[in-house]
Chains A and B, each alone.
Chain A
């Protein structure tokens, strides 16, 4: 049984993914938010074992992935209006906070810091498109 905290995170991740798009900043932010939340939920999914008093040593079925399969089989989550509103508030708040913190970073680091970060993003993207052998080299 997946922990409600993890289930809640995955519900938000699905909502964010549905609103995600590459055509505007908020859409791209939602894509990133969805995958970031998913990564956090997957990493923390052992919390289910902790709360249900299961021991780490026990060979446990990966509940997280079983849960994802169940969602897929059902064709998605059903969310109430209240759940959706709460989720949307969290996302907008995170977006506004990110816009602020990115602005602060640029203000603190100046154009040099901004240019360095831009260069590094290009390196990450380029490395992802390169052949594995080239990446290792």
Chain B
């Protein structure tokens, strides 16, 4: 039964590896890619946690270096990432228009999180 998950994990590792070299904090899309990659790898780690075969697969993928990604998969990954970036931008700009006070709230929250101070939005919608 882990077989089905192996393929999914492998394809997620490919997706994260695709985003990796294009990540940068010099521009917005680069920072988005860095976050996207981190999110995908976080999912990989959480899904494989406790499943020995999957954990070994993830460990091996790091030992062997970046995986080979077929060109057709690069096109799909590129589309997925770009689409999600556009969605994220739209969602954020809509939020900024409808709840302008949310901008200051978000800014304060991020600063607190980064400083490791206590802060909870309670309900996350």
Binding site for B on A (CB under 8 A): 5, 8-9, 11-41, 43-44, 46-47, 50, 56, 75-79, 81, 84-85, 88, 90-92, 94-95, 97-99, 101-102, 105-106, 109, 113-114, 117-118, 120-121, 124-125, 127-128
Are A29 and B32 also in contact (CB < 8 A) when A44-B5, A94-B42 are?
yes
The residue on A at minimum CB distance from B96 is: A21
B-to-A contact residues, CB < 8 Å: 1-2, 4-5, 8-9, 11-12, 15-16, 19-44, 46-47, 49, 78, 80-89, 91-93, 103, 106-107, 109-110, 113-114, 116, 118-125
Q: Are the C-beta atoms of A20 and B92 separated by less than 8 Å?
A: yes
A-B contacts at CB below 8 angstroms, number: 236
The chain B residue sitting closest to A122, CB to CB, is: B29
Shortest B102–chain A CB gap in Å is 9
Q: Which of B29, B87, B124 contacts A14 (CB 8 A)?
A: B124
* Chain A contacts for B110, CB-based, 8 A: 19, 21, 24, 26-27, 30
